[in-house]
Amino acid sequence: MKNYLIVSACFIYATCIQAEVQLIKTEPQKSESISIGYISLTEAISDFNEIVKKLKLLAEDATIDGIVLHINSPGGSPGSSQIIADFITWVRKTKPVIAFISDSGTSGAYWIAAACTHIIAPESALIGSIGVVQEFPKKNKTLSFTAGRYKRAHYLADGVIDPEDVEKIQERLDSMYDIFCKAVAQLRSVDVETIKALEAQVFLGTQALELGLIDQTGTIQDVLDAAIALSNHKKSTPPTMVRVIASPSDIFEFAL
């Protein structure tokens, strides 16, 4: 396969694009061409709407053969992460979704990556942190009134949280941890105890590959190769042209 310096520049430029992904209304592509949709998730996860909307548009676009999901996120909301991951499992029934973790894919962001068809990351990327954390402000930092015994943690006179509250909080975190580990184990086809044995550690890309958390170490060129290979499985002839679609106004075409 020819050198992809031009392609690399296209992907680097695409990471800066903030334009909304919309349905690409183009004529169906010829059998010798292949189209790859591109979505970027490069911030803390607080809501699922935007990513799910973009995934849905690309999934329902018959001209798109595969999707690259660029991830650079520390994670965030477990609920939104789970919804995005579940939606990706639906998308990959009809077309591959390749995750590219450029710098960080930890916690909820890794949950999302684990749902993808194939995960690629540089050797130096940070991956994992499959765990749950909940932090509380120190006593007297905020003033609030509540209704319901467990609406807020109760502090004792010495500033320590009431042991009864600690027990309830830990039960909730343990339950969320079980959900997280079971989901990742199922998505990565490993035993749940294997995931729990990692103890929420963060790993470099090289370590993550050895542990089976990712499928391949590599960079943008490798992502493109994987996207082409996985997206071309239903075509009768090898592609001679690739289109990378980051938005309706940012479509890059190049010959193979």
Q: What is the pLDDT of residues 77-123, one digit of tens each?
A: 999 999 999 999 999 999 999 999 999 999 999 999 999 999 999 99
The average pLDDT across 11-37 equals 51
CATH number, residue 223: 3.90.226.10
**Together in a domain, 153 and 177:** yes
On whether residue 47 sits in a domain, the answer given is yes
Q: What is the pLDDT of residues 188-243, one digit of tens each?
A: 999 999 999 999 999 999 999 999 999 999 988 899 889 888 886 556 666 666 77
Q: Are 221 and 1 in contact (CB under 8 A)?
A: no
On whether residue 40 sits in a domain, the answer given is yes
pLDDT of residue 69: 95
Q: What is the mean pLDDT of the chain?
A: 80
**Together in a domain, 39 and 125:** yes
* Range in 138-152, 165-179, 220-234 the model is least confident about: 138-152
**Together in a domain, 34 and 119:** yes
Of the candidates 54, 63, 61, 105, the one whose C-alpha atom is nearest the C-alpha of residue 84 is 54
Tell me the torsion sign for CA atoms 133, 120, 124, 210: positive
Q: Which comes out higher in pLDDT, residue 85 or 17?
A: 85
**Together in a domain, 170 and 206:** no
**Together in a domain, 172 and 84:** no
Cα separations in angstroms, 113 against 116, 162, 181: 5, 37, 14
**Together in a domain, 106 and 226:** yes
**Together in a domain, 142 and 155:** yes
State the DSSP H helix or E strand holding residue 82, giving kind and residue range, or none if neither. helix 78-91
**Together in a domain, 122 and 231:** yes
Share of the chain above pLDDT 90, in %: 54
What total of structural domains would you count in the chain?
2
**Together in a domain, 71 and 112:** yes
Boundary (domain end) residue, out of 189, 214, 232:
189
What is the Rg, in whole angstroms, of the alpha carbon atoms belonging to the chain? 21
Tell me, what DSSP letter sits at residue 121? E
pLDDT of residue 33: 78
Q: Tell me which residue range forms the domain holding 235.
A: 5-15+29-129+201-255
Amino acid at 158: D
Query: What's the token pair of residue 113?
Result: 């990556």
pLDDT of residue 163: 80
User: Which residue has 């695409």 as its token pair?
Assistant: 14
Give CA–CA dist 11/67, Å, rounded: 13
**Together in a domain, 40 and 122:** yes
For the entire predicted model, the pTM comes to 0.80
Q: Is the pLDDT of residue 142 over 60?
A: no
Boundary (domain end) residue, out of 140, 169, 189:
189
